[in-house]
Chain A
Amino acid sequence: MEHSSRNPALSQVELKLTAEGLRVTLPAQEVPEEAGQNRRVVLLPRLFFDQARQNLLDRLQQFPLQLAALDEEGAEAVADLLPRHFRQLHLNEEARKDPHAAMVRGSVCSCGQMGCAHISEALEGVEAAWSAVTAATRLEWLGWTAETLVHAVLDSWAAQMPMRDAEAELKRIAGRLDTPAYRSKQGELNLAEWLAEMVHNGRLHQPGPELHDVEINLSQAKLQVQADRLQAWTNLLPGVPGAAQGLSLILEQTGKNAEQLAKRFRAQKP
């Protein structure tokens, strides 16, 4: 089956994800016989995406590292798990032979005709859009955000490891530990007890794991002091006309000195 030779510009195709599916509004027609008629709207049904949505979930379960990256960095981390072409979303057995035809058959046009040229146009527009949008948008079309996808994967994992009574199991394992948290009945922290426990477990000098998550950026920074910040100090010191200027000078000088230190530091550390 040949596709329409027309290739509508991306900006002219409007896409909207609804509960029913992906709603594609085509640009106004230039063909005389259709001039004056309403813009055509093609609906690509949700079922096109459900399989892809499930496939993505299934695949992501097998790649915990990618899942972690999705959680930390966002949708780009799973871009490679998303089909390259929009038509590949609809990947049931039958559709695999000719996914385009399968999509045309499954879509509905406001003109009422089955398999009309508008549908092909819409599909081409969506195909172009799919290539151009971000991974986050693609995920969105599949009905996911990074967060909901992560949670869905974790929920699937949990479903694979059913526990008859999760709370009881948690209590059983955690309950083997004696003594309560380091609080008195009034809720005050007993620091001495907490420190003793840290010593006992060899943790007294150990930083928490978050230390290594904190990124420090000492690359050359452009110092920008917002005017409203300076204004706030002027308001506090109405009798000191030079306050804002002085503050600005100080920040600038400090920034320069810090730059000298950072330069030296950058030179030492790779």
Chain B
Amino acid sequence: MNQRLFGIWLGEVLFCFSGEVSEARVDAWTAAVRKLTLEPGTRPFQHAALRLAEVRYPVSAGYGRAGASERKGLIGRTLEGLALPVQDTWEMLLNYDAGQLASQQIQAGGEFEFWSKAARFALELMLRGRISPGIRPRQMSGRRRTGQASAQSVWVPSLTDTEDEARFRQLAEAMPPICLAAVQLGTGQEEGSILNRQMGLLYSFLSAMIDYEVRRGYEQLGRGLNAARARYRRGYSPMAELWWNELLSSGDAPSNLQGPLAEIGQLIVDITETGGRPPSDQEEEPEGKSIGSFRLCLRIEPEEPQEDEANLIGGRAKPLPDAPFKSKGQSEQLWRLSFWAEGVEDPRVLLPAGLVWGYPQRDMEIHERQYKDVQQHLLLRLSKAAHIAPVIKEAMQGPCPESIILHPQQMYTFLSKSVSALRKQGVTVQMPTRWTKEGRRHVGVKLKAAGWSGGGEGGSTVDAPKLGIDKLISFEAQAILNDAPLSYEELVELSASKSSLVLFHGEWIEIDTKQIRQVLKFMKRQETGTMTFRELMHLSLDDDFDLHGIPIDAIEAEGMLSMLLAGNGSYMAGLADTPVPSALNGTLRPYQERGFRWLALMRQLGFGALLADDMGLGKTIQVISVLLEGLHSAAGPSLIVCPTSLLGNWQREFARFAPQMRLYVHHGSDRQHGEQFLEMCHEYDIVLTTYQLTGRDATEMREVPWSSIVLDEAQYIKNFGTKQAQSVMKLSSTHRIAMTGTPVENRLSELWSIFHFLNPGYLGSHASFRSRFTGSGERQNAELEKLRKLIAPFLLRRLKSDPDIRKDLPEKIELKSYCSLTAEQARLYQAVTDGLMERISSSEGIARKGLVLSSLTKLKQICDHPRLAGTRLRSSANGERSGKLDRLIELLDLIMDNKEAALIFTQYVQMGELLQEQLSARYGGVPFFLHGGVPKHDRDQMVHAFQEGQGSPLFVLSLRAGGVGLNLTRANHVIHFDRWWNPAVENQATDRVFRIGQQKNVEVHKLICQGTLEERIDELIERKKALSEQVVGSGEHWLTEMSNEELHHLIALQGGL
């Protein structure tokens, strides 16, 4: 495949690049260019350093088109390329031969013709001795000292001869625009007109080449130069002598030419005047207008046949002597070749020759640009073109040449023999298709993906790849011309064309023969083949991706494959009707059923899946359903990894929905290790553990061939470098699920690690992902959109607010979060329990009631936070002291992430204050805390402020303070930090948000410390919900009526968490 080579001068090096940004493509380009060999056997790029430069270059460089946003102006982009030092640049350009490069599959930009000519101009000047000592200002490195300046000696072209100056100007004017595309030109002349910049850049280039070549010759002069050197003494000798000595040095050492601004400035003036000033274009701008020039543009158009033959000869067009006058069908189509003047600096200016000849003045002004001697310029261009193209010479046989009629044979000859040479001379040739705005026809390849290869979905051959993204998909390739299919024979015919204009299917079209030959080569090798699903997805979405060097224009697929490629979740509509396992002890809501079927499909296809439903939608039950569904075919246990605070939750959920699944919780000091662990795994269906322990017990974890791995709160591994992320990646399984409630659509760039777990390699390397998808700007937005589509097949996210989901949701979703006690809490809890049971046997009546109530209160407080029980540690790590607080923070992180609001109820003012303190430290902004002690005025202000969206979206309230009249519908989450075991009281609190005006579904979270009285009382309430008022009563006094045994059963600490 041809590699492009572009080159721009950056003041000290020729920066060569391809315009590509994809890391892979730049690497391939670098490798190809380094091998480039020129006469006489040199490899100029072999040791060239890699370099980054900011260049104004279009994004869609592949087809030379500018994107819509780039029409207004090209912004600088950082491009990677090779920096060719002066020595290699000089050698390369003197030996430059476009044909030689093309034979090595390197397609050089037109600017290389320019640089090559400039190099030869430098050589000619040196041949004739037209060079001069010179000086140029230099940027001072390090700390700038005011009043100081720096300069550098340099050999420069001497352009005092008028002819030399004229040629210099002509060359500068001919400089291709790309040469000015560097954001920092490094020439010190980065202002002013285009011509000014061109001249500055050319002068800098010539000086560099001359300076190098001159100094190279010093070695041959040897001691002959000694007498020429000055006996410079710092502080005594004039600065000019220092400059002179530096001029006579090899140039390897850095310049010492520094001094006061005035002195250096005067030195520059003296030297410049002695050697001659570099030309500038100051005298070229009359009245502030810039100067323009024309190039010749030839336009080819089909000529309609005329009824009257005589009319054909009249006017300006003159047919060639033996041209037929009437078209006798497509093969006899006549063509008109007309002449136009196209603006060099402003290509939009396009004037027909007739207008130029008929214009009464020599000069024209168009769009504030002066065009001088327009007729003479056009005449000159035509005469030069006439030397190349005989048909143009024929057209110049009479006054005011405007056009000529060609018959088909002449057209062929013109196209095949003259057009290419004309273009090299700077003549634009417009083909008929360009005039009709269709442009050059593009020949490309379309792929028809035929489906999964090797036996259909989940094909179970021995060699089948373990993960679905690596499964092979077979395809057929087809050549297309724009969108129309091209047969192999037609492709062969087109590739054999010697001209870029061909008659095809009855119409003339312009083609790129090189492109066609590449496509033909591809079709010969790859008419059918296979590729992985990963490659297919990238091909369909990623412009930088190609198949063996050929960009793919279109991909067709059917069925599920087509829906997966669509990248918009449309495949959800086509999900198979996998039945919900009958063993599931519960009913899935409709959207949960869909989620289950999607997970089942992902497993069938071997794809890792990211379930990212909004919190409260029941991700857990969907995952449990799919694990249950796969239970009988599972070859080994499934592993669920979650934060410590959620262990309890999972246990509860399994117990509730799939009690038949054998669950082992790998946690705590008595967990199994080594062989015992491995044996244990065989006996259980599900192993539940934490992120921490996947790291600590990595050795045994890695030994197990898990049938599924589920990561709950998968954002825990978003940082790839962390130990927990690394250990999770090393686990072995063919089926993977990640769960998260965080809004992934806002965090796409953080997804790499999660996707690397789910479908390794799908999103490329971490480095390339970061360079492509992190950052900002319009280009990044476009890349992120591609990323969205790439991950779409593997991501399912529904929001509570989706109309489809909302209708399936109850107005109030009740969720219980089971938390663990910390070691400190457990110790305190046990102490209180022991204390109570010890003393209760010896107390009765009111004393007993008081003892029970005070102990129960203490236990509840301990479950909240040890600080409420009166203990204080030196450490201020309050969060680590309470499992409930940890869980609350996790919940609130999600709520804050989703930009929602929550009310947090607690019975204890002290807990409320502690919550205020913790939450303001974590989220900034102190949440309101409403309790009985708050005056009405303040209360009203708080409520008003909260409802108006002012201040923190979190509001702490004591349960009793949530009296009537409060309207807090801004919140859609209610968290009961601790329980008031009368549902009516809790409901009343909940109703603060669940009132008229509430637009969203409300989630009610109840935090329950597992293994404690909280859990047991909750169970009691659940069992007797309908009778709860009778059983529980309006207060907690019913607890004091329990027997010692019942009491003990209620409060004893249970479970190993």
Contacts and interface: CB of A to CB of B under 8 A. Distances in A.
A47 interface: no
B114 A207 contact: yes
Interface stretch (B379-387, B456-464, B721-729, B1047-1055): B379-387
Contacts of B426: 206-212
Given A209-B425, A251-B131, A259-B127, A65 B180 contact: no
A210 B126 contact: no
A200 interface: yes
A245 B229 CA distance: 10
B176 A158 contact: no
Contact of B120 (A151, A181, A199, A218): A218
A166 B355 CA distance: 8
A194 B94 contact: no
B174 interface: yes
A72 B344 contact: no
Interface in B55-111: 56, 58, 64-66, 70-75, 94-95, 109-111
Contact of A237 (B193, B230, B355, B380): B230
Contacts of B358: 157-158, 161-163, 166
Interface string B362-406: 101011110000011001111110100000010011111100000
Given A197-B348, A198-B347, A192 B174 contact: no
B227 interface: yes
A174 B71 CA distance: 20
Contacts of B75: 192
B220 A253 contact: yes
A203 B240 contact: no
A218 B128 CA distance: 9
B127 A209 contact: no
A254 B73 contact: no
Given A177-B367, A195-B56, A187 B344 contact: no
B354 interface: yes
A81 interface: no
B933 interface: no
Given A174-B366, A208-B173, A265-B94, A254 B380 contact: no
Interface residues of A, number: 94
**Mostly helix, strand, loop or mixed at chain A's interface?**
helix
Contacts of B176: 203-208
B1000 interface: no
B174 A207 contact: yes
A64 B380 CA distance: 10
B295 interface: yes
A216 interface: yes
Given A181-B290, A196-B71, A62 B398 contact: yes
A202 B348 contact: no
A173 interface: yes
B39 interface: yes
Interface in A237-270: 237, 239-240, 242-243, 245-247, 249-259, 261-262, 264-265, 268
Contacts of B274: 232-233, 235-236
B664 interface: no
A191 B111 CA distance: 18
Interface stretch (B211-219, B547-555, B559-567, B785-793): B211-219
Given A157-B400, A189-B194, A197 B123 contact: no
A160 interface: yes
Contacts of A206: 110, 176-177, 426
B244 interface: yes
Interface in B164-219: 167, 170-171, 173-178, 180-181, 191-194, 197, 213-214, 216-218
A249 B56 CA distance: 44
A132 interface: no
Contacts of B40: 264
B174 A240 contact: no
A140 interface: no
Nearest to B126: A258
B376 A249 contact: no
B127 to A, nearest CB: 4
Contact of B230 (A194, A240, A257, A268): A240
B73 A192 contact: yes
Contacts of A253: 217, 220-221
B346 interface: yes
B117 A216 contact: yes
B376 to A, nearest CB: 6
A177 B352 contact: no
B990 to A, nearest CB: 59
Nearest to B368: A181
A254 B230 contact: no
A183 interface: yes
A195 B271 CA distance: 35
A196 B221 CA distance: 49
Interface in A1-37: none
Contacts of B113: 207, 211
Given A236-B271, A249-B225, A166 B359 contact: yes
Given A177-B348, A199-B64, A255 B6 contact: no
A7 B363 CA distance: 50
B357 A214 contact: no
A254 B126 contact: yes
B238 interface: yes
Interface string B920-952: 000000000000000000000000000000000
A147 to B, nearest CB: 10
Interface string B211-247: 0011011101100110111110000011011001000
Contact of A174 (B177, B244, B351): B351
B393 A65 contact: yes
Given A200-B66, A246-B225, A214 B213 contact: no
B64 A195 contact: no
Contacts of B270: 236
A261 B124 CA distance: 10
Contacts of A240: 228-230, 241, 244
Given A161-B358, A205-B110, A208-B426, A199 B129 contact: no
A214 B290 contact: no
Contacts of B393: 65
Contact of A189 (B56, B193, B425): B193
A190 interface: yes
B86 to A, nearest CB: 15
A69 interface: yes
A196 B230 contact: no
A151 B362 CA distance: 9
Interface stretch (A38-46, A112-120, A122-130, A219-227): A219-227
A216 B424 CA distance: 17
B479 interface: no
B515 to A, nearest CB: 16
Q: Which 5 A-B pairs have the closest CB atoms?
A: A246-B228, A161-B358, A192-B73, A68-B383, A209-B426
Interface of B: 6, 39-40, 56, 58, 64-66, 70-75, 94-95, 109-111, 113-114, 117, 120-121, 123-124, 126-129, 131, 133, 167, 170-171, 173-178, 180-181, 191-194, 197, 213-214, 216-218, 220-221, 224-225, 227-231, 237-238, 240-241, 244, 248, 270-271, 274, 288, 290, 293-296, 344-349, 351-352, 354-355, 357-362, 364, 366-369, 375-376, 379-384, 386, 393, 396-401, 424-427
12 contacts: A62-B398, A63-B396, A199-B70, A199-B74, A205-B176, A207-B114, A208-B426, A209-B384, A212-B384, A240-B244, A252-B129, A265-B94
Given A246-B229, A251-B129, A265-B123, 4 more contacts: A154-B357, A209-B425, A254-B129, A254-B217
